[in-house]
Chain A
Amino acid sequence: MAEPVLSIRELRKNFGALKATDNVSLDLKPGEIHALIGPNGAGKTTLIHQISGSIRQDSGAIEFLGEDVGGLGMAARARKGLGRSFQISSLAPEFSALRNVMLAQQAAQGSSFRFFRPVMRDRSLTDPAMSMLERVGLAGRARLPAAELSHGERRKLEIAIALALGPKAFLFDEPMAGMGPEGAKDLTGFLDGLRREAPILLVEHDMDAVFALADRISVLVYGRVIATGSVDEIRRDPEVRRAYLGEHT
């Protein structure tokens, strides 16, 4: 079996008395989409934050490409190849969609300590950034400030930025949220192809998308993983049905 790209061991995070992450272990293998589902407040976003480095775990290990990254900052982990999107869009609001992607492009190319060449006339930034926007269907909105994009468009822009980093693993936090049924269907097809570029840890409430895409599903409830398995195994699991899927059927 292939070595996992990302491997989380016995991760714990408390917010006061609240166990937001309670002894979570899971991994992400090459080429797979591993979906992380669970009710509101289960701790999915908190887990993504710890993997990407925006919050620090209390204990436990995060291994990425065979290296312990649990002590690194967010920027360092991104440079190692962790590309993420945010549940609540997190963009540079004054920059155009294009410039948001260009920022990722310039980071992927290396040093940002270059003071003279204007970025807008730098084809090595604008061209790839534009093609990322094309891939997510935002090319027509490239010149609009991120703040003026619709909710769904901002979600797509988040994905284009993650793509531009050329990451070794994607962490997507509810990319379908607020996209509408059409948008969600398009994005499902898109993510299906994307797994060939890098494996995806996908937090998602849209069960149609999860069942269509996931190679494996982990179910998080009150900070704990109560089950991990294939789509069929998870659908049949009585504890999962009681704790989570029950609310949807």
Chain B
Amino acid sequence: MKFTREILINTVLAALLLAMPFAALAMDEPFYVTLATRMAILALAAVGLNLALGLGGLVSFGHAAFFGIGGYAAGILSTHALNMQPLLTWPFEIESSEQMLVAWFVAVAVSGPVALAIGAISLRTSGVYFIMITLAFAQMIYYFAISWPAYGGEDGLSIAMRGTFPGVNTAVPLSFFLICYGVLMVALLLFACVRASRFGAALQAARQNETRLAAVGIGPFPVRLVAFVISAMVAALAGSLYADLNRFASPSMLSWQMSGELIVLIILGGTGRLFGPVAGAMLFVLIESVLGGLTERWQLFLGLILLGVVLFARGGLIGLVAGKSRHG
């Protein structure tokens, strides 16, 4: 592998994000540990979306649904575990658990089939219809969640105790950050693998020219559907971590604003670029916390920055620094 400028930037970003909580603790600013964790988790969700959006060109405006499902998975498991109720009693009994790994598993196992169903319908459309139909599904799930009193309804679901992890005290912010960071790195590795693989080639070809893909005998639909499902599962995993971070599964995790935020992260960082979501999430959280501390209208500035990126730096931050991506 050649050591390109992009690899250098990716390494720097990975190191910066890792260093941030340590620096924060050294400077006695523990709040920044939480901020770095937020960056890692949002980046993780965006890595998931980047698979569908960046590689496959599928502008899903409904990924909050999966992010939220992950969040509620963590929230519901924790509630049941606290009350010592089983998670399911019918058709078979499933014990609840305060294990984070179990929450991850449930997040992925639930979001996968939901994404399969949503994708199977949505992917029959394209362009603006696809955007709208994914939004519509996510809104349905959102309204379902806020009208479900057993799990908090509009108030959401608070998590008394963060999920546990074998050999780690997750209540320590730095430890929890390291778990999130580790998951993010694994997801990035997965993304890089998929992008370079046969599946990745087909997925990217489906974005560039679906007629060409069909003409060589690969149907675009199943390729996109699988990408959509994997993408949703990664977002759900991130959602589960996010709820654990805030000790709260909020309906806002399912909202369309959340879906929009994930898209914004990717565009800011660089669509389809490996570290685009990381760069985007770091910048986004930074803007949110720095400008958000100064003015209530920080989103106005976010809007201006986004406008600048779309007009002058289509490749996002990564594209700006590393140049156009090359496909070998």
A123 on the B face (CB < 8 A): no
B198/A95 in contact, CB under 8 A? no
Give the residues from 259 to 290 in chain B that come closer than 8 angstroms, CB to CB, to chain A.
Answer: none
Bound-state Cα–Cα, A84 to B216, Å: 9
Q: Which residues of chain A are near B327, meaning CB under 8 Å? A: 94-96, 99, 145
A79 and B217 contact, Cβ closer than 8 Å, known pairs A95-B205, A117-B198, A119-B198: yes
Give the residues from 91 to 131 in chain A that come closer than 8 angstroms, CB to CB, to chain B.
Answer: 91-96, 98-100, 102-104, 106-108, 111-120, 125
Give the residues from 58 to 103 in chain A that come closer than 8 angstroms, CB to CB, to chain B.
Answer: 73-76, 78-79, 84, 86, 90-96, 98-100, 102-103
Specify which of B196, B197, B208, B218 is in contact with A94 (CB 8 Å cutoff). B208
A107/B218 in contact, CB under 8 A? yes
B218/A75 in contact, CB under 8 A? yes
Specify which of B196, B197, B202, B222 is in contact with A103 (CB 8 Å cutoff). B202
Which residue of chain A is the closest to B219 with respect to CB atoms? A75
B219/A90 in contact, CB under 8 A? no
- 19 additional A-B pairs beyond A84-B215, A113-B199, beta carbons within 8 Å, are A52-B215, A76-B217, A78-B215, A90-B209, A90-B215, A92-B209, A92-B212, A95-B201, A102-B201, A108-B217, A111-B198, A112-B198, A112-B199, A112-B218, A113-B222, A115-B197, A115-B199, A118-B197, A161-B215
Bound-state Cα–Cα, A75 to B223, Å: 12
B213 on the A face (CB < 8 A): yes
Bound-state Cα–Cα, A119 to B203, Å: 13
Q: Which residues of chain B are near A54, meaning CB under 8 Å? A: 211, 214-215
- Count chain B residues whose beta carbon lies closer than 8 angstroms to a beta carbon of A: 28
Bound-state Cα–Cα, A103 to B217, Å: 10
Which residue of chain B is the closest to A79 with respect to CB atoms? B217
B197/A78 in contact, CB under 8 A? no
A115/B215 in contact, CB under 8 A? no
A106/B201 in contact, CB under 8 A? yes
Contact residues of B with A, CB < 8 Å? 193-194, 196-202, 204-205, 208-209, 211-220, 222-223, 226, 327-328
Q: Which residues of chain A are near B197, meaning CB under 8 Å? A: 114-119
Query: In the complex, how many angstroms separate the beta carbon of B27 from the nearest chain A beta carbon?
Result: 41
A115/B214 in contact, CB under 8 A? no
- Count chain A residues whose beta carbon lies closer than 8 angstroms to a beta carbon of B: 42
Specify which of A78, A94, A116 is in contact with B214 (CB 8 Å cutoff). A78
Q: Which residues of chain A are near B220, meaning CB under 8 Å? A: 75
Q: Which residues of chain A are near B217, meaning CB under 8 Å? A: 75-76, 78-79, 104, 107-108, 165
B211/A113 in contact, CB under 8 A? no
Closest 6 CB pairs of A and B: A78-B217, A118-B196, A75-B219, A79-B217, A74-B214, A92-B208
Specify which of A111, A115, A120 is in contact with B328 (CB 8 Å cutoff). A120
A103/B214 in contact, CB under 8 A? no
Q: List 23 A-B contacts (CB under 8 A).
A: A52-B215, A54-B215, A73-B214, A75-B214, A84-B215, A86-B215, A90-B215, A92-B209, A94-B327, A100-B212, A103-B213, A106-B198, A107-B216, A107-B217, A112-B199, A113-B198, A113-B199, A116-B197, A117-B198, A119-B197, A119-B201, A145-B327, A165-B217
Bound-state Cα–Cα, A129 to B31, Å: 54
Query: In the complex, how many angstroms separate the beta carbon of B210 from the nearest chain A beta carbon?
Result: 10
B205/A73 in contact, CB under 8 A? no
Q: Which residues of chain B are near A100, meaning CB under 8 Å? A: 212
A115 and B219 contact, Cβ closer than 8 Å, known pairs A54-B214, A99-B327: no
Q: Which residues of chain A are near B219, meaning CB under 8 Å? A: 73, 75-76
Q: Which residues of chain A are near B222, meaning CB under 8 Å? A: 113
A94 and B223 contact, Cβ closer than 8 Å, known pairs A103-B216, A114-B197, A161-B216: no
Which residue of chain A is the closest to B212 with respect to CB atoms? A90
A103 and B194 contact, Cβ closer than 8 Å, known pairs A54-B214, A91-B209, A94-B327: no
B208/A78 in contact, CB under 8 A? no
Query: In the complex, how many angstroms separate the beta carbon of B262 from the nearest chain A beta carbon?
Result: 23
B215/A74 in contact, CB under 8 A? yes
B223/A96 in contact, CB under 8 A? no
Q: Which residues of chain A are near B209, meaning CB under 8 Å? A: 90-93
Bound-state Cα–Cα, A90 to B209, Å: 7
Query: In the complex, how many angstroms separate the beta carbon of A132 from the nearest chain B beta carbon?
Result: 12
Which residue of chain B is the closest to A122 with respect to CB atoms? B198
Q: Which residues of chain A are near B223, meaning CB under 8 Å? A: 112
B205/A92 in contact, CB under 8 A? yes
A92/B215 in contact, CB under 8 A? no
A115/B216 in contact, CB under 8 A? no
